[in-house]
Structure 1
Amino acid sequence: MQITNVRAHHIRIPYDAGVASFKQGASAISALEIVLVEVSTDAGLTGWGDAFSYVCPRSSATAIDEMIAPQARGLEVPDAIDIPAFMDRIQRNLHLFGRYGITMFAISALDIALWDLAARAQGVPLHRLLGTRKRARIPAYASLLRIGTPDLVASECETALRRGYTAIKLHETTSPAVFAARRAIGDGIPLMVDMNCPMTSAEAIAFAHECKAAAPMFLEEPVWPPEDFAALAETRTKGGLDIAAGENACTINQFRQMMDAGAVGYAQPSVTKVGGITEYLKVVDLADERGVRLAPHSPYFGPGLLATLQLLSLRDDKTFVEFFYMNRAACLWRGAIDVGADGAVAVPEGPGLGYEPDRAVMERYRV
């Protein structure tokens, strides 16, 4: 079975996050930018991947077209056992263009699509190709966008609990917002705080002490720059709260450096950024070996979310799936991956990643 084409689809789906906002740079983001990658074969099977693309969809799509497609067209589709070697070759061929960021986002998309194809070729869901499924439903935490005002933070947390969520993650950088959330949800609900790399280690240590009584499960990426693992380790040691990081790390190598430094208690590989399923699995093995817990990054709604669900189904450690807390104008998967009344998401049972994207939705929201 040969790869006949690799195509990037830029899809933009509007969303409503209520009182929350999401900013990168100066502009608020008002739509989900998704770069789907379609890998076609001469056998009629299609695999789907996902390149991370919040504010860089055109760049991610161009990387697919200019770097990934020429590498992949005409090649034999590797089976599951050979995908790691195949992807190692792709990484080596493209290393000149970076081992981080856009290049790795594009590589991740190809890798996800190849695993999708490998499982589809055998007619089984991805989790069965990789191991033994231990969970049919994955508990989701509500990943709230940044709000700022403590009263509004509390209100959104209460609404999320009413919708069935059993854990909350904030994107806040002030202790009043953290305490407002804790008062709203009570003591028994896990609370996480994602900070998006704003502080020095000294500032982050002070913030950790301020928030300690609110008992967050972890502070996520409190320090700038995110690759300063020594500063993260210092914050973890002196701040008295656990640290999560890794959504901005690419390949097993950065995660090894992170863990060698003692920087994290929670590793956060993002399947659409780290190098795909292949690298994600390496990170999981390393984390398990080092006694580091898993909290994967997955606030997206393309094939990357399906892949994350498949991968989390292999674990029985109650690991949550991250789920963006928002109302979307449409769903590529016909609502099949929505959070249920029990606060969990069903693991897809179809071949490969489990579902085919809705082409009508793709066409309606195509850029």
Structure 2
Amino acid sequence: MLITEVRAHHIRIPYDSGVASFKQGASSIAALDIVVVEVSTDTGLTGWGDAFSYVCPKTTCAAIDEMIAPQARGLEVPDAAGIPAFMENIQRNLHLFGRYGITMFAISGLDIALWDLAARVQGVPLHRLIGQAKRSQIPAYASLLRIGTPDLVAGECQTALRQGYGAIKLHETATPAVFAARQAIGAGIPLMVDLNCPMDGAAAIAFAQACREASPMFLEEPVWPPEDFATLAEVRSKGGLNVAAGENACTVHQFRQMMTAGAVSHAQPSVTKVGGITEYLKVAALADQQGVRLAPHSPYFGPGLLATLQLMSLRDDGTFVEVFYMKRAACLWRGRVDVDAGGTIAVPEGPGLGYEPDKEIMERYRVA
């Protein structure tokens, strides 16, 4: 079976996040930009992947068209055992473009699609191709976008709990918002705080110490730059709280540096950024060796979400799947991966990633 084409589809789905906002730099994001990667074969089978692209969908699409497609087109589709070597060769061929950022986002999209294809060939869900599923339902946490006002933070937390979520993550950088959330949800609900890399070491340590009484499960990415693992380790040791990081890390090699430095209690591989399923599995194995917990980064709405659910089903470690707390105008999966009243998402049981994307939705929200 040969790869005949690799194509990037830019899908833009509007959303409503209520009182919250989603900003990257100075720009407010008003829609979910998804780059779906389609790998076609000469047998008619298709694999679907997902390349990270929040504010750079055109750039990610160009990377797939100009770097990934020429590398993969015409090659034999590897089976599961052959995917790591196949992707190692792709990484080697593209290393001069850098081993992080857009290059790895595009590589991730191809990798996910190849695993989807490998499982489809066998007629089994991805988790069965890799191992033995230990969970059929994955608990979700509401990943709130940044709000700022403590009273509004408290209100959104309470609404999320009423909708069934069993845990909350904030994207706030001020302690009053953190304490407002804890008071609103009570002592028994897990609370996480994602800072998105704004602080130097001293400020991050002070913030961690100030938040202790709110008992967050972890602080996520408190330090700038995110690859300053020595400072991150200092925040972990002096701040008195667990520290999570990794959504901005690519390949198992950077995670090894992070863990060796003692920087994190929770590693956060992002399947659409780290290098796909192949690298995610390496990171998971390394985390187990190092005694570091997994807390995958997964606020996706494309095939990356399905891949994350499949991978999380292989572990009974009590981890939550991250879900952006917002109302979407449409769903590529016809609502089948929405959070249910019990606060969980069912792991798809169909071949490959589990579902085919809704072609009608893809066409309706396609960006030319």
TM-score by length of structure 1 reads: 1.00
- Displacement of 1:65: 0.2
Counterpart CA distance in 1 for 2:128 and 2:201 is: 43
User: What 5-or-longer segments of structure 2 have no aligned partner?
Assistant: none
Per-residue displacement from partner, 1:280-334 (whole Å, max 9, x unpaired)?
A: 0000000001100000000110000000000000001111100111000000000
| Residue in 1 that maps onto 2:128 | 128
Instruction: Write the distance in 2 (CA, Å) between the matches of 1:28 and 1:350.
Output: 36
In 2, distance between residues paired with 1:318 and 1:214?
Answer: 21
The Cα offsets for residues 219-265 of structure 1, whole Å up to 9 and x where unpaired, read as 00000000000000000000000100000000000000000000000
What does residue 229 of structure 1 align with?
229
Task: Show the counterpart of 1:42.
Answer: 42
What's the Cα RMSD here? 0.3
Q: 1:27 Cα shift?
A: 1.1
Q: CA deviation at 1:155?
A: 0.2
1:152-231 counterparts in 2 under 5 A? 152-231=152-231
* 1:20 is the counterpart of 2:20: yes
Map Cα deviations across residues 117-169 of structure 1 (whole Å, 9 max, x no partner): 00000000000000001000000000000000000000000000000000000
The residue number in structure 2 matching 1:138 is 138
Partner residue in 2 for 1:77:
77
**What SS does the corresponding residue of 1:11 show, helix, strand or coil?**
strand
The separation in 2 between residues aligned to 1:134 and 1:26, in whole angstroms, is: 42
- Letter of the 2:194 counterpart: D
- TM-superposed CA distance for 1:26, in Å, is 1.3
Partners of 1:319 and 1:193 in 2: CA distance = 16
Letter in 2 for 1:340: D
Query: Match of 1:37, SS?
Result: strand
Q: Work out the number of aligned pairs and report it.
A: 367
1:81 is paired with a residue whose SS is helix
Output the TM-score relative to the length of structure 2: 1.00
**Cα distance between partner residues in 2 of 1:276 and 1:285:** 15
Match of 1:65 in 2: 65
Structure 1 segments, 4+ long, off by >2 Å, are none
Q: Percent identity?
A: 81
CA distance in 1, matches of 2:287, 2:270: 14
Q: Which residue of 2 aligns with 1:103?
A: 103
d(CA) in 1 for partners of 2:126, 2:115: 7
What is the CA distance between 1:25 and its match in structure 2?
A: 1.5
Q: Structure 2 counterpart of 1:191, which letter?
A: L
**Whole-Å Cα distance in 2 between the matches of residues 45 and 325 of structure 1?**
34
Partners in 2 of 1:215 and 1:28 — Cα distance? Answer: 30
Q: Which residue in 1 is equivalent to 2:265?
A: 265
Residue ranges of structure 1 left out of the alignment (5+ in a row): none
> What whole-Å deviation, never above 9, does each CA across 1:183-204 have from its counterpart, x for those lacking one?
0000000000000000001000
CA distance in 1, matches of 2:350, 2:62: 30
- 1:115 is displaced (CA, Å) by 0.1
In structure 1, distance between residues paired with 2:24 and 2:346: 31
CA distance in 2, matches of 1:325, 1:291: 30
